[in-house]
Amino acid sequence: MRAVLLTGFGGPERLVYREDVPDPSAGAGEVRVRVGAAGMNNTDIWTRQGAYGSAEDPSSITGWRREPPRFPRIQGADVAGRIDQVGQGVPGARIGERVLIDPMLYQGGERDLVTTDYLGSERDGGFAELVTVPAELAHPVHSPLSDAELATFPTAYTTALRMLGRAGLAEGETVLVTGASGGVGSALVQLATARGARVVAVAGAGKHEPVRELGAEAVVDRAAPDLPAALAEALEGRQVEVVADVVAGPSFPALLGVLAPLGRYVVAGGIAGPLVQADLRTVYLRQLQLIGSSFGTHADFAGLLAYLEAGELRPLLAGSFPLRELAAAQEEFERKNFFGKLVVLPGEG
């Protein structure tokens, strides 16, 4: 089959397009999916770069579990397609079924999510013509959306659902969302709005109106020279119960500063810099909660499917690339000059 192999840590040059990769076969309890589309995520970039560090050395080169993944590896967690082969114990009637794949490969409870295998990291993923997964993770999907549109949802939206769930965002509360034009950020805006929350967002210039169209009541420019003042003006005296952050970096103190007493800060990314400084007196005197979150549970994925079946989410497909251009696609992803999600179409070579 055609596939792109990540051959080691480094730049886009470590992504090698090949047309002679052996076809995978569905094992017992598994299905094989012919990939219609596979979405891209920050995790793909950070895994290639080895950008996760370790508790002892933040600059060390590691995978997301803070250990090296096994190379070569086929990346691509967010997969939409059709089942074309089933393994032992899986009904043959599933062949031909259109599916969306839950990329979290854990079994057990919520605690197991922290050490889970992740499709495209610990197991070969969807930047290929074929991928195999446990049958229970390939969910039937009935939707008028294209495979490319469906592939924009899994990781970003389950990550956002878990963030909002861990922060306990309730109807009528105000949430501040950073990185609101990206995959997880735009998912947070849509999902928080669906929960009946009031959304104030932070986004780059030129992307404010699309964020408002998703439900944000106000949008602050991420490059504002005085971010605390810009946030205060946008909030118009309101207090923020929840900050949902995927950016971190130098803005971290300002984000803590807008939280109401007993407010909750939840973080699932650090694209502006994972190492931050803050005055812990702000945390304990205002009795704030700092909450870490990553990926989403199987229950979150079921929640995503329910939203999709109800037609309550808008796909934000910013662009697509043929498989052989994955390296160029990742370079475009890193430039962030788009709104929403980029996907790869293996059927286009």
Q: Quick one: pLDDT band at residue 59, thresholds 50, 70, 90?
A: confident
In this structure, how many other beta carbons lie within 10 angstroms of the beta carbon of residue 239?
12
Measured CA angle at 316 (ends 166, 311), to 5 deg: 75
Looking at residue 278, what DSSP letter applies?
Answer: -
Q: Give pTM, 2 decimals.
A: 0.94
Q: Comparing C-alpha atoms, which of 36, 140, 44 is closest to residue 95?
A: 140
Residue ranges per domain, the chain?
3-152+315-348, 156-292
Q: Comparing C-alpha atoms, which of 176, 175, 126 is closest to residue 154?
A: 126
Q: How far is CA 36 from the centre of its chain?
A: 19
Could you check whether the bond before residue 140 is cis, i.e. omega within 30 degrees of 0? no
Range 3-152+315-348 has CATH code 3.90.180.10: yes
Structure confidence by residue, pLDDT tens digits, 257-293: 999 999 999 999 998 899 999 999 999 999 999 999 9
Phi, psi at 307, each rounded to 5°: -60, -40
Domains 3-152+315-348 and 156-292 agree in fold: no
Q: Is residue 10 within 8 Å of 48, Cβ to Cβ?
A: yes
* CATH code assigned to 156-292: 3.40.50.720
Q: What is the arrangement of strands in the sheet containing 289-292, beginning at the earlier edge strand?
A: 218-221, 198-203, 174-177, 240-245, 259-267, 289-292
Residue, of 62 and 146, whose pLDDT is higher? 146
Structure tokens at 57: 């050395």
